[in-house]
Amino acid sequence: MFAELNSILNSSPESFKQGEFILVSDRQTDASFLIHHFLSFYLRGCKVCFLGLVQSFSHYSAVSQRLGVSLNQAREKGQLVFLEGLKESLGVLLQGDTSNGTPALDFLRDPSSGLRGLYDFVHGNIRGSEGRAEDWGPPVLMVDDLSVVLSLGVSVGAVLDFSHYCRATFCSELQGTMVILVRCEAEEEEEESDEGSERLQRGLTHQCSLTLQVQGLPTGYCRDIHGEVEVCWRGRCDGLQIQRKLFQYKVCDKGTLFFARGTSSAVL
Amino acid sequence: MAAPSKSVGKSTGDRLSCNTTSFQKKSRSKLVSIPGTRPSVQNGQLIVSTGVTSLDYVIGGGLAVGTLLLIEEDRYDSYSRMLLKYFLAEGVVCGHELYVASAQDHPSDIIQELPSPILDDIASPKPVESQTKPCDPEGPDTMSIAWRYQNLPKVQTALASSSRFGHYYDVSKTMDPEICQAARCHGFYLPEHSATVSSSPAPPPTATGQSPMPEAYVALLKNLQEVIHREGFDGSLPQTKSRNVLRIGLHSLGSALWGDDLCCRDNPSHGHALTTLLYGLRALLRSSLSVALVTVPSHLIQNKALMGRITRLCDTAVALESFRGSERETNPLYKDYHGLLNVCQVPHLNCLVCDLPDNKDLAFKLKRKQFTIERLHLPPDLSETVSRVSHGGLAGAAMLGSSGCGSAGNKHLDF
């Protein structure tokens, strides 16, 4: 949990806004440090369902250890439900159509069938253990790298359907939170901006309530400033205007420093 | 599937069940000791050398076990092939097992062409710069702090160099056949396998009649998984067998010889075939003690976004651009080098931050005994540790000059 990011977003583990859909997107850089922040943030009091599609469980566990949260303990207590995409995927990819393995990764077998299996997995795990569901706060869904399913053949429409269903369940019905990471590759000004991950990012930006867009510095590579983050709150029905803030950041071993543009300690 | 074991975070020793990954935290009691590997100085990860010491330095010390190195080929596939051979030669010298897959050349031909390692007793005519490092010659064999100084020549006659990390190779000679025979090598040559692929019953068609990957890739993944499981790299064999690392070299994935039209068309029919293969490969690597090097002819892929996705699915990515045949070959700026090297991506593994290079303009040169990678331009010195007062000579004169009355000016600046 990064203290500076908490103050930027005006939230703390004791009081945060319910029913939020947070979209973390990056362009030609790596925004996974924000996912680690949100994971350790929400594990301080909520039940989390984490779809880790690109990294192994031990990776998140090692980083969270440095941020002060133990994922193993959370998983044993039932507070964390972790889907390890890499581990489950091999069986599905190589065994063809045998019905072993979780149906959550059915899209690997047949990409045109969409992410229905994944949604059923998420839905089932949030409803499970009814007796202890009241111990934790509202449920949280986190997806590390939803755009990797585009590389595996799923269409943009299917992914947007999945996020819409999840939003209806998590944000509207259960008043929980969703945090999704999407990665884009192309530059924004290129002509072929109709490419899959761009469309996905635009579609998800329309659905979400808070976006954090991470990109590299426009002036080039710098060793001490790793990039900039644009935080954008979308207006809600209570009339708040769309608010945008821009920060630069530097990732350290146990946290991240956020500072206003041009005020990095390397420059001053 | 076995029950998940709670071994992360405890001193794991040598236990590696198939449910934990090969990323082992540095445990206090004993480290996993495999010849040719060492724990990384940044986060204790087990790393191996790529065979080229300057490439090891540029990607952060070495290649972590369980990860994938992507090399974007240069136009004539000369230097990327060289890097693949260095990688495999390093595996032979360290005693690792090899797995080579190619659709173009037979794996045994590739193994026979590996460069020969430079043995210590004939290493005396080494370039001068390696001897200027001050080092205690009576020090212990393995240096844990000044490990880079281990490459100073010692008087040894045998090829007892597996305790070293990173070796040098002479590209004008090929490796001795005896050394090659000593290494265990598994090969996958696609034309041999395609006969079996076409004769086996076709996989049952899915609802749309299209499987996600062409048969060549499925065959490759299956063969690789079978080798990993049979030889016990994923921990399936009992503990009596000593641990080893499998080095996987995959040549020219995505080219037309693999049955993939990614490089031939703007809108390939199997647009996500290579990315699905890389995802499966990533899953295999994360659950076994292996490390992979993949070369991809990226200059043939028209779609830049697709290349970005391929890079995202690999851990470390390096792009080569050779000057041969281009107008840069005669450009005096580049006369010392054979090409440019771009480090596209360095992974963050088990930690928030990775060791970023301070300079991304790199050029390489293939000499007979060394593949050197050097920086091409110096960046502006913008860091927290730079002392601005000490550059007073030039800065002071600049300030004087800019105020308009630079009389006692510097000899460098003349207004």
CB contact (8 A) between residue A112 and residue B208: yes
pLDDT at residue A164, as a whole number: 94
Nearest neighbour of B283 by CB, restricted to A30, A90, A266: A90
Cα dihedral B129→B133→B138→B140 (10° resolution): -100
pTM to 2 decimal places: 0.81
Rounded CA-CA distance B391/B398 in Å is 11
Among residues B324, B274, B272, B267, which one has the least CA distance to residue B296?
B274
pLDDT at residue B223, as a whole number: 92
The rounded Cα B404 to chain-centroid distance in angstroms is 54
CB contact (8 A) between residue A223 and residue B356: yes
Q: How many CB pairs lie under 8 A apart between chains A and B?
A: 152
For a pLDDT cut of 70, what percent of chain A falls above it?
A: 88
On the question of pLDDT at A102 being above 60, the answer is yes
CB contact (8 A) between residue A30 and residue B348: yes
What amino acid is encoded at B325 in this protein? G
Among residues B169, B126, B132, B166, which one has the least CA distance to residue B150?
B166
Please report the domains of chain B, with CATH numbers, ordered by start residue.
Answer: 39-121+153-378 (3.40.50.300)
Nearest neighbour of B286 by CB, restricted to A28, A56, A63: A56
Nearest neighbour of A97 by CB, restricted to B204, B271, B353: B204
Provide the token pair at B216. Answer: 């060549």
Among residues B100, B315, B48, which one has the least CA distance to residue B227?
B100
CA distance B164 to chain A (A): 28
CB contact (8 A) between residue A185 and residue B225: no
CA distance A39 to chain B (A): 13
pLDDT at residue B24, as a whole number: 53
CB contact (8 A) between residue B287 and residue A87: yes
Nearest neighbour of B212 by CB, restricted to A36, A108, A192: A108
Q: Is A227 left (phi over 0), alpha (psi -120 to 50) or beta?
A: left
Rounded CA-CA distance B110/B188 in Å is 12
**Cβ-Cβ contacts under 8 Å, A267 against chain B:** 382
**For all residues of chain A together, what is the average pLDDT?**
85
The CA-atom distances, in angstroms, between A58 and each of A54, A87, B7, B30, B174 are 12, 12, 10, 19, 41
Q: Which residues contact B53 (CB under 8 A, 6 or more apart)?
A: B151, B166, B168
End-to-end CA distance of chain A: 26
Nearest neighbour of B351 by CB, restricted to A62, A221, A256: A62
Q: Which residues contact A17 (CB under 8 A, 6 or more apart)?
A: A11
Picking from A73, A86, A265 by the largest number of B CB atoms within 10 A of its own CB, the best residue to mutate is A86
- More confident of the two residues B409 and A103: A103
pLDDT at residue B290, as a whole number: 93
CB contact (8 A) between residue B352 and residue A253: yes
CA distance B180 to chain A (A): 32
pLDDT per 10-residue tile (average), chain B, 415 residues: 41 42 51 77 85 89 92 91 94 91 91 86 43 45 72 50 75 88 89 66 44 83 91 75 87 88 79 90 92 93 85 92 84 84 87 75 88 76 56 39 42 58
